[in-house]
Amino acid sequence: MLGYVLLNIAIMLVLVAVLFYMQKKHMSFTVRVFTGLGLGVVFGFVLQFFSSPDSEVIASSVGWFSIIGSGYVKFLQMIVMPLVFISIISAFTKLKLTNNIGKVSTLILGILIGTTAIAAAIGIGSATVFNLEAVQIEQGQAEMDRGIQLEEKFGASLEGKTMPQQILEFFPANPFLDLTGARSTSTIAVVIFAAFLGFAFIGIKRKQPEHAEMFAKIVDVFYSLIMRVVTLILRLTPYGILAIMTNTVATSDLDAIYKLGKFVIASYVALIIMFLIHLLMLSLSGLSPVKYLKKAFPVLTFAFTSRSSAGALPLNIKTQKQLGVSDGIANFAGSFGLSIGQNGCAGVYPAMLAVMVAPTVGINPLSPSFIVTLILVVAISSFGVAGVGGGATFAALIVLSAMDLPVALAGVLISVEPLIDMGRTALNVSGSMTAGVLTSKVTGDLDKDTFFNESTSIEVEA
């Protein structure tokens, strides 16, 4: 067995060397990410061909591959809180018209939450059209173990809590604790704390402009430093994607995915419809959806492959700027979109799961009262969804708990979670960028010349 494991590690190192060679030849970031994705998928299927997903050879090989894949994800998680914190404060210091902050933030939040409510309605429709029910899914040992784990981990904390009590969990009683990411709601808590500092900055700017100017310079320094760290991490993306995709494909139960194929198709139908609604909203506002697609493609590709909305934040903000959005609005929309109104993770997925689970406890998921309540709960619960892995599960658990539905059934889809999470993350990022572009258009802040400019190159600089 050791020989096969060493051979697999050697192959992985060769593939890493290929990506490094491409980097040295200055091939584009998008090409390298797609190459890493493709090589990972192919290598994963090769491993599947020679060994079963639950074999010791696969388990040992994947353990070594995880140094690259999981290590990359941990680096993303490392930078999330500092990035969100400094981006929100920077949004306040960079916004051109400080008296416009209320309108800007209201528009961004309104679009994010409104589109999440629409996404929930689409999720309900897709689950209904495809006739999805949790009882149709054959639960293996992995699914049952996952359900028990979710119930033990979240059941006690959510059980008996009313919606107002759950909303109170978003508030930052100890912002320094939340900056460590200790709670599942830490991201939204950090956003709220940073917003308070931002509003305090506006007050100081009116009364003590010299102090405000000094603070703004300090923020700019920290923002540049954090973004440089992000750039260093993003350079690792092709390697991380290679290892992540290899692990995902090699350990996937293809038979289970086949059995859950109807749910995967229904999910992507809902995600694609919601993405088309983003394009329709841009079109109705007088902007070209084709131009948006061309410029958004690299960051959507990154989000799809990395499955990290937080990791995509720097490219998200950079793309919005190429779409003519100002620094302040781009930072607001990108940062708010990490924890509020994620269309895929907090909109489509929890709604579909609730519709699937409802019949198991004798509830008609098509009753008007259930549908209206579910959409409202999804919209409210969309606050505080983490931007790195597991956010969709947390959002689903909150919704199921609020609707008095069994949370353990959230584990029945563990086999296809990575596959669906790719599309959900890309939709999340598209939703935040759409909010930024539309807000800029409504406030008259959008630089149309930049939006319609043919430049589409989004690169991670050396």
Q: Average of pLDDT values for 397-401?
A: 80
Q: Quick count: other Cβ atoms within 10 Å of Cβ 40?
A: 28
| pLDDT number for residue 68 | 92
Distance CA 291, CA 285 (A): 14
The correct answer on CATH 3.10.450.30 for the domain covering 2-452 is no
**Other Cβ atoms closer than 10 A to 373:** 14
pLDDT at 429 over 90: yes
Extents of the domains making up the chain: 2-452
Most confident of 188-197, 212-221, 417-426: 212-221
Q: Give residues with Cβ within 8 angstroms of 406, minimum separation 6.
A: 357, 360, 361, 400
- Percentage of the chain beyond pLDDT 70 is 85
386: pLDDT confidence band, cut at 50, 70 and 90? low
∠ CA 39-44-46, rounded to 5°: 95
What rounded mean pLDDT belongs to the chain? 83
Question: What are 53-110's pLDDT values in tens digits?
Answer: 778 888 889 899 999 988 988 887 788 788 888 888 888 887 765 557 778 888 999 9
CA 118 to chain centre: 18
- pTM, rounded to two decimals: 0.82
Are 57 and 250 within 8 A, CB to CB? no
The pLDDT tens digits for 101-160 are 778 888 999 999 999 999 999 999 999 999 887 765 655 555 555 555 555 555 555 555
pLDDT of residue 260: 75
Amino acid 223: pLDDT: 87
What value does the mean pLDDT take over residues 237-250? 87
Instruction: Give the pLDDT score at 202.
Output: 86
| Residue 252's pLDDT band (cuts 50, 70, 90) | confident
pLDDT at 163: 64
Residues 296/431, Cβ–Cβ less than 8 Å: no
Q: Report the pLDDT value the prediction gives residue 408, as an integer from 0 to 100.
A: 66
CA 394, CA 389: separation in Å to the nearest integer? 10
pLDDT of residue 272: 97
Over residues 301-356, the pLDDT tens digits come to: 888 877 788 778 888 988 998 999 988 888 889 888 887 888 988 899 999 989 98
36 to 15, 40, 238, 319: CA distances (angstroms): 8, 6, 5, 22
Tell me the percentage of the chain whose pLDDT exceeds 90: 29
Task: Determine the Cα–Cα distance for residues 114 and 377; give it in Å rounded to an integer.
Answer: 13
* Confidence band of 434 (pLDDT split at 50, 70, 90): very high
Query: Which pLDDT tens digit goes with each residue over 24-47?
Result: 988 888 788 889 989 998 999 898
Identify the residue with better confidence: 164 or 244: 244
Give the start-end residues of each E strand in 55-138. Answer: none
